[in-house]
Every structure is written in C-alpha cells, then in structure tokens.
C-alpha cells in the first residue's frame, strides 16, 4: 500500500486534507525514469583510431553502432573507413564488424538510422568521383535485413564544392539525408548552406536536393529527425541577426508533408555568444532541440553549457530555453533522443570529477526527463575514465536507452588510439 493510499484511507490523524496537500506536492516534483546501466561494452578492438560513433535503434531490440576507423585494411589506402556492428537483443551481444566503405579516400562522419528491417548509413567521402572536383561527397548504403547485408553505395551529392557532415533519419519508407555544402549558389556568398534529399521508397531512389537555408554566412552542422509526416531540421548559422553578436545561432525548419515543403526558419537561440552543435529529436507532437552555448551564465565560468528548447505543437512554437548543465568546464556536443514521454540528452564534459584524470579529456554524462522535458533528473555519469571520453551519441526505445562514445583510455589491443564503447540503460 503506498503513501497516498494510506492517507486517503484515514491512517493519518490529519486525514484527507494532508493527503491532498502531499498529492499536490508530489505533482510538482520532477518525474524521472529510473535507469540502471550495465557495464561498458567495447564495440571496437583496433590498433587504429575508432571515432565518431552514431547509434540507432528500431525500437524492437535491434541496435546499430556505426563509426569511422583508420585501422589499415585492404583497399583503404590508410584512410578512414566506415564500419558498423549490429545487435539483435538490445545490446546484449553484437555481431562482427561490417565494413560499409571500401575507398582509397577518407570516409568520415557516419550517421545511422533504422526503421523496421531497414538500416541506413550515410557518410562523407573524399574519394575522387566524377563531378566532385576532388572534394567530399555524401554517400549512403541501405540494408533491408537488420544490417545483415547492405546494398550498393548510393551517391547523394554531385557537387564541385565540399559536401559534409551528413545526418540521416527514417520513418516508414521515407528516408531523409541532410548535409552542409559550400558549392556556390545564389545568395550564399560562397559559404555553406544546408541541403536535404528525400526518398519515399526505402532509399531505392531520391528526389532532387532541397535547399534548407538561404543565408550569406555559413549554415551547417545540421541534424534531422522525422516522426509520421513531419520532418525537422536544425542547424547552426553565423549569419548576423539581432542580438547574436555576429556569432552562430541555432535555427530550425519544419516540413509537415515528408519534406514536400518547409515552413519559415525558426530561431531557437538568442545569445550574444556562440550557439553551436545542435541535435534534434521528436516523438508524437513533441520536438526537442539541444545545443551548446558559451554565453556567460552563473556557474559556467567562460565555458559552454548545454541547453534545450521544447515544442509541444510539432515545432510551431517553442518554450523557454532549459539549462541542462551547470559546470565550470566545457559541456558540449549534445545528442538527444526521445520516445514516449521520455527525453534523453547526452553530452561531453571536461569539468574535473574523481577518476577522470587531469588531462581535461572529458567524460560522458546523461540527463533524463520522463515528462516531455518539463523536468530533468540529476546528471548520470556514463563514463569513468582517466583519458578523454568524447563524441556521445544516444538512441532510445520504449524500454532501453543506448549511449555510445569514443574513448582514448588505453585498453588491450587499442594501441594508443580511441575505441568505440556503448552502455545500455533500462
């Protein structure tokens, strides 16, 4: 029998009035999902550098971790390749590493998404191809069997400029790939813009490139999310706007029709200092945009903190900025995931803590909300290492949350280079 039941049944001398008062108090307290994390799972065992992980789940127990790796392999020309491992059981075990790329140039910055039996891996590649001008292009591979095998490489961009930093999302048969590109276009003044291509048939074909930004300064580091027919794109932009002090702000656009059209850009951050590295997630009618910001605030010193804004109406409007970190070191590079009413924000933080050493490399932390971002629980420390733990990526299902990162802490077989790790919470 719980406290409320005892009080209502008259087991307290002050009776129902006290029960009502305590009930109102309980309603005001933070609602936080209770999580237990297992031990760190080592995803890579390589003598080269394994970095920049991206994690995704289809929600049914299948988990995918992609990363870039410069461990020498046949045909790589000593450049980085993209690899992936898949788990069919919520991360309890993983299959062998799957080589996604076989190129003589550098294959970088993977982004992975999953929907049903389909898995999509996008990346940036500077292997010379016709029409690229020797600059990076964006590529994609698709698996229709939970990552057991992948189809041929799909070229997403054909530009003479640099096409970089892809982000991929998928829902049903729709696949969305965003990237930033400095190929000259009207009004861009030679700086980068954010673009997107959409497939409505599980990546079998893609429509024409859609220009998301139209700015005279750099627009980049995009993040895309999709739920139902809605598509959300966020990015950082250093186009001068009132109150920005000529430094980057975070912006956002919404499509209600699978990328058929987009509404006007929505300004997410209003700061005189740098706002950067956004991440977007969505579930139902809720949308969450997190970013890092070095605008001075109490307790931050002069370093970055992680912030978030929440929309409850498909991105039509957003609530006030929520401060997620209060640290004297740098808190940054957030990754956000959402499912049901639960919201997860992971980030890297170099604020000194016991067991982290003094090299300033950073640890990975996580905060959780169980009420659509209205309240967040205390920060959960994901890593406890003496060297740098960086580049967090988070994904979530109804019952589990997955946090991946790369880590320079020496372990057998790694040499002195980074490995990819994962922890699973339930």
How is 71-106 classified by DSSP, letter by letter? S--TTSTTS-EEEEEEESSTTS-----EE----SS-
Closest CA to 152 of 112, 96, 111, 102: 102
Question: Residue 10 is part of which domain span?
Answer: 1-30
User: Residues 107, 26: one domain?
Assistant: no
pLDDT score for 32: 59
User: Residues 17, 157: one domain?
Assistant: no
User: Residues 24, 43: one domain?
Assistant: no
Instruction: Give the distance, in angstroms, between the CA of residue 14 and the centroid of all CA atoms in the same chain.
Output: 50
User: Residues 97, 194: one domain?
Assistant: yes
Buried b (16+ CB within 10 A) or exposed e, 294-303: bbeeeebeeb
Closest CA to 191 of 130, 259, 248, 134: 248
pLDDT score for 47: 84
Number of other residues whose CB lies within 10 A of the CB of residue 204: 13
CB-based contacts of 234: which residues, under 8 Å, 6+ apart? 222, 223, 250, 251, 252, 268, 278, 279, 280, 289
Query: Is the confidence at residue 105, as pLDDT, over 80?
Result: yes
Output the CA–CA distances (angstroms, integers) from residue 227 to 134, 136, 178, 231, 394, in the order listed: 36, 29, 16, 7, 17
How large a percentage of the chain has pLDDT more than 70? 91
User: Residues 392, 298: one domain?
Assistant: yes
Output the CA–CA distances (angstroms, integers) from residue 184 to 190, 193, 370, in the order listed: 5, 9, 44
User: Residues 398, 268: one domain?
Assistant: yes
User: Residues 25, 77: one domain?
Assistant: no
The model's confidence at residue 190, banded by pLDDT at 50, 70 and 90, is confident
Q: Is residue 277 within 8 Å of residue 269, measured between CB atoms?
A: no
CA angle 401, 405, 407 (to 5 degrees): 145
pLDDT score for 360: 59
Question: Residue 425: helix, strand or coil by DSSP?
Answer: strand
User: Residues 229, 104: one domain?
Assistant: yes
- Domains contained in the chain, number: 2
Q: Lowest mean pLDDT of 71-75, 250-254, 332-336, 392-396, name the range.
A: 71-75
Distance CA 411, CA 44 (A): 11
| pLDDT, average across residues 29-52 | 86
User: Residues 39, 26: one domain?
Assistant: no
Q: Is residue 115 within 8 Å of residue 58, measured between CB atoms?
A: yes
pLDDT score for 160: 85
| pLDDT, average across residues 137-153 | 98
This prediction has a pTM of: 0.91
pLDDT score for 3: 28
Beta strands in 135-248 (DSSP E): 137-143, 154-155, 163-171, 174-181, 193-199, 210-211, 219-227, 230-237
User: Residues 130, 26: one domain?
Assistant: no
pLDDT score for 309: 98
User: Residues 278, 351: one domain?
Assistant: yes
Output the CA–CA distances (angstroms, integers) from residue 201 to 258, 318, 378, in the order listed: 12, 32, 42
Query: Is the confidence at residue 4, as pLDDT, over 50?
Result: no
Query: Is the confidence at residue 323, as pLDDT, over 80?
Result: yes
Query: Is the confidence at residue 249, as pLDDT, over 80?
Result: yes
Q: How many residues does the chain have?
A: 426
The gap between the terminal CA atoms of the chain, to the nearest Å, is 25
Q: Residue 245 sits in a domain of what CATH number?
A: 2.120.10.10
The model's confidence at residue 98, banded by pLDDT at 50, 70 and 90, is very high
- 322-323 and 286-293: which strand pairing? unpaired
Q: Is residue 57 within 8 Å of residue 42, measured between CB atoms?
A: no
Owner of token pair 């590295």 = 277
User: Residues 19, 109: one domain?
Assistant: no
């Amino acid at each position: 029998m719980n406290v409320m039941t005892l009080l209502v049944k008259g087991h307290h001398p002050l009776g129902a009035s006290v029960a009502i008062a305590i009930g109102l108090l309980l309603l005001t307290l933070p609602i936080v999902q209770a999580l237990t994390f297992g031990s760190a799972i080592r995803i890579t065992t390589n003598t080269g550098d394994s970095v920049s992980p991206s994690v995704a789940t289809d929600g049914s127990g299948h988990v995918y971790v992609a990363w870039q790796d410069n461990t020498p392999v046949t045909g790589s020309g000593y450049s980085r390749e993209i690899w992936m491992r898949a788990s069919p059981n919520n991360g309890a075990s993983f299959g062998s590493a799957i080589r996604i790329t076989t190129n003589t140039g550098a294959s970088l910055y993977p982004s992975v998404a999953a929907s049903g039996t389909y898995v999509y891996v996008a990346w940036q590649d500077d292997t010379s191809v016709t029409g690229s001008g020797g600059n990076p292009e964006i590529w994609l591979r698709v698996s229709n069997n939970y990552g057991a095998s992948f189809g041929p490489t799909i070229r997403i961009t054909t530009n003479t400029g640099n096409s970089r930093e892809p982000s991929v999302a998928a829902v049903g048969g729709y696949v969305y790939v965003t990237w930033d590109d400095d190929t000259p276009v009207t009004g861009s003044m030679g700086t980068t813009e954010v673009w997107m291509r959409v497939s409505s048939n599980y990546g079998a074909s893609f429509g024409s490139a859609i220009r998301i930004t139209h700015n005279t300064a750099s627009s980049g580091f995009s993040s895309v999310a999709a739920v139902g027919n809605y598509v959300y794109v966020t990015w950082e932009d250093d186009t001068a706007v009132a109150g920005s002090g000529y430094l980057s702000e975070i912006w956002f656009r919404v499509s209600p029709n699978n990328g058929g059209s987009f509404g006007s850009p929505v300004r997410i951050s209003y700061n005189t200092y740098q706002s950067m590295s956004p991440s977007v997630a969505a579930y139902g009618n809720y949308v969450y945009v997190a970013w890092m910001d070095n605008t001075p605030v109490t307790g931050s010193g002069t370093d970055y903190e992680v912030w978030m804004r929440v929309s409850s109406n498909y991105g039509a409007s957003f609530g006030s900025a929520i401060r997620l970190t209060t640290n004297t070191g740098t808190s940054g590079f957030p990754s956000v995931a959402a499912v049901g009413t639960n919201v997860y924000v992971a980030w890297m933080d170099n604020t000194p803590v016991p067991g982290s050493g003094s090299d300033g490399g950073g640890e990975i932390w996580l905060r959780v909300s169980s009420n659509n971002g209205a309240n967040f629980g205390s920060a959960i420390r994901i890593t406890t290492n003496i060297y740098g733990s960086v580049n967090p990526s988070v994904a979530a299902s109804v019952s589990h949350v997955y946090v991946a990162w790369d880590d320079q802490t020496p372990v057998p077989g790694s040499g002195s280079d980074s490995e990819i790790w994962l922890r699973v919470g339930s």
